[in-house]
Amino acid sequence: MIRHVLRQFAVQTLYQMEVGQMTKEEAIENVEWMVEGLKEEAMELMAEEVTPHQILEVERQFTLDEFYFELVNGVLTHKEDLDQIIDENLKGWSFSRLNKVDKAILRLATYEMKFCQETPHKIIIDEAVELTKEFSDTGDGKARSFNNKVLDQISKHFA
């Protein structure tokens, strides 16, 4: 599965845990159920005569891999530290005022910047802005702009 999609699922997992008071296992199970549904849809859209190779490829593409689990487990393990870093880089805003989906996105991106050095900060920030567009932005661009500024500040914090 491509990394952007895995980040989407990681944000959904973290959000479900925060909002739904779910355990990590319950939230991951929900995401795995969504992935299974997507896989079934993909199989239905393919021609009736699917080769074994095509089945294996669909299975591979619709599997949560270690990157997803690294993100979810990493954010949960370092949540207090990540929250402190985010809070220190908010200008004129308090951490408690952030909505839960933006918290999940900012935690995920901050985790990646701090612990996943193989991915350039610019890419991490771009991905987080895309996630904000998909999950948080109400169409006025304010959430995108806000998260972009916060993550840019955090990136400078790590430089």
Q: Tell me the per-residue pLDDT of 53-108, one tens digit each, with 9 for 90 and over.
A: 776 776 777 788 999 999 999 999 999 999 999 999 998 889 999 999 999 999 99
Structure tokens, 109 = 């991106």
Structure tokens, 113 = 């910047």
Q: How many residues does the chain have?
A: 159
- The answer to whether the beta carbons of residues 130 and 4 sit under 8 Å apart is yes
Confidence of residue 42 (pLDDT cuts 50, 70, 90): confident
pTM of this structure:
0.90
According to the model, what pLDDT value does residue 1 have? 66
Axis crossing angle, helix 66-77 with helix 100-115, rounded to the nearest 10: 100
Structure tokens, 56 = 């294996």
Structure tokens, 42 = 């993909």
According to the model, what pLDDT value does residue 14 have? 97
Any residues with CB less than 8 A from the CB of 68 and at least 6 apart, and which?
A: 1, 6, 9, 10
Q: How far apart are CA 77 and CA 5, in angstroms?
A: 22
Complete domains list, the chain, with CATH: 3-158 (1.10.940.10)
Q: How far apart are CA 41 and CA 117, in angstroms?
A: 35
Q: How far apart are CA 108 and CA 79, in angstroms?
A: 10
Q: How many CB atoms lie within 10 A of CB 67?
A: 15
According to the model, what pLDDT value does residue 148 have? 97
